[in-house]
Amino acid sequence: MAFAGRWETETQEGYDAFCKLIGIPDDVIEKGRDYKLITEVTQDGDTFSWTQIYPTDAKVTNTFITGKECDMETIGGKKFKATVHMEGGKLTVAFPKYQHTSEISGGKLIETSFAGSTMLKRTSKKI
């Protein structure tokens, strides 16, 4: 149940380059650059509900069971099917344009996304 809780962004590395690469408009990148993204996670065994709250209170919630295909959605509203895997305490999932990994390290939520060789690393503290 290490992921469960409410998390707030502390740092982001590679934000601009990653967002541009996956096609996020410049005005949206600008709004989100210094925003403290809130991530709310509930976990019951292998079942997760993962909500991310963005600027202007836009939010997206994905509910999934690790190891089983599920319906997911991006913040842009794109719906897709994916399977979230849990291995070595890390959650991994393939989004349409990038690979995403989440883990707890040193009491922080570390989220790393790769689109080709471009990386976004977001570190969040529990609140």
Q: What are the extents of the domains in the chain? A: 5-126
Q: 90 is written with which tokens?
A: 């890390």
Instruction: Please state whether 118 falls in left (phi above 0), alpha (psi between -120 and 50) or beta.
Output: beta
pLDDT tens, position by position, 64-115: 999 999 999 877 778 999 999 999 999 999 888 889 999 999 999 999 999 8
From CA 42, how far away is CA 2, in angstroms rounded?
A: 10
Question: What confidence tens digit (pLDDT) does each residue in 2-56 have?
Answer: 899 999 999 999 999 998 888 888 887 887 788 888 999 999 999 999 999 976 6
SS3 83: strand
Among the CATH numbers 1.20.1090.10, 3.30.9.10, 1.10.10.10, 2.40.128.20, which is that of 5-126? 2.40.128.20
Angle at CA of residue 47, ends 89 and 73, nearest 5°: 95
Give the 3-state secondary structure of residue 11.
strand
**What pTM did the predictor assign?**
0.87
User: Is residue 105 a contact partner of residue 86, using CB atoms and an 8 Å limit?
Assistant: no
∠ CA 50-92-96, rounded to 5° = 85
